[in-house]
Amino acid sequence: MENSTSHSISHSSLTEQEHIAVNEAINALKAKQGALLPVLHHIQGALNYVPPSSVPVIARGLNLSDADVHGVISFYHEFRHTPPGAHVIQICRAESCQSMGSRSLEQHACSRLGIEYHQTTRDNNFTLEPVYCLGNCMNSPAVRVDDQIYGDMTDEEFDLLLNGLLTQVIEVKAP
């Protein structure tokens, strides 16, 4: 009886969309060997983050402890605990990009956005994340914004990129 009470508490703290995404991932992948990482990736792919309240649901669905699930989520920095901003900016930290100035670019980006890595701006427009290779070494330093990779990034190019994202036309449809 205690177990079913804890289940309804976990479920009630998830939104309907989160509940659907979590259960879909578990049901689709639980038979897979080492299903936890694929389940977490599936959830993050659907929601853009892994809700902390999903941990007990995932644990029960995969017959793991809450600590096992939480440990994996906290070990891999790519898993987000909160929804990201409208645009996710990743700055490459691989050796090639570092040798071509990515550390300076990181400082500029943090200063311009007013946040550090793994944070989101107050207006929820941008989330800043490190990444350890974008496969664009020939054009270092590289940045990925959402799914688009930009090479030969300078502070000035970064500012232009941000300004462009902030001034994108929003289509408004009349009622």
**Region 142-151: what's the mean pLDDT?**
96
Residue 101's pLDDT is what? Answer: 95
Contact at 8 Å (CB) between 21 and 43? Answer: yes
pLDDT tens digits along 18-29 = 999 999 999 999
Using pLDDT thresholds of 50, 70 and 90, give the confidence band for residue 86: very high
pLDDT score, position 167: 80
**CA-CA distances (angstroms) from residue 63 to 20, 24, 30, 34, 127?**
19, 16, 9, 12, 33
Query: In the prediction, which pLDDT does 15 show?
Result: 94
Determine if the peptide bond prior to 130 is cis (ω within 30°): no
pLDDT digits (tens, 9 = 90+) for 37-81: 999 999 999 999 999 999 999 999 999 999 999 999 999 888 999
Q: Which two tokens stand for residue 51?
A: 């809700």
Read off the pLDDT of each residue in 122-130 and give the average, rounded to a whole number. 95
Rounded average pLDDT over 133-151: 96
Tell me if 126 sits within 8 A of 113, measured CB to CB.
yes
Q: State the pLDDT confidence band at 2, using cuts at 50, 70 and 90.
A: very low
pLDDT of residue 169: 54
User: For the chain, what is the largest distance between any 2 Cα atoms, rounded to a whole number of angstroms?
Assistant: 61
Residue range 6-16: mean pLDDT, rounded: 60
Residues with Cβ within 8 Å of residue 156, at least 6 apart in sequence: none
Query: Is 60 exceeded by the pLDDT of residue 126?
Result: yes
Please tell me the predicted confidence (pLDDT) of residue 1. 37
- Per the prediction, the chain carries an average pLDDT of 90
Residue 77: predicted pLDDT: 81
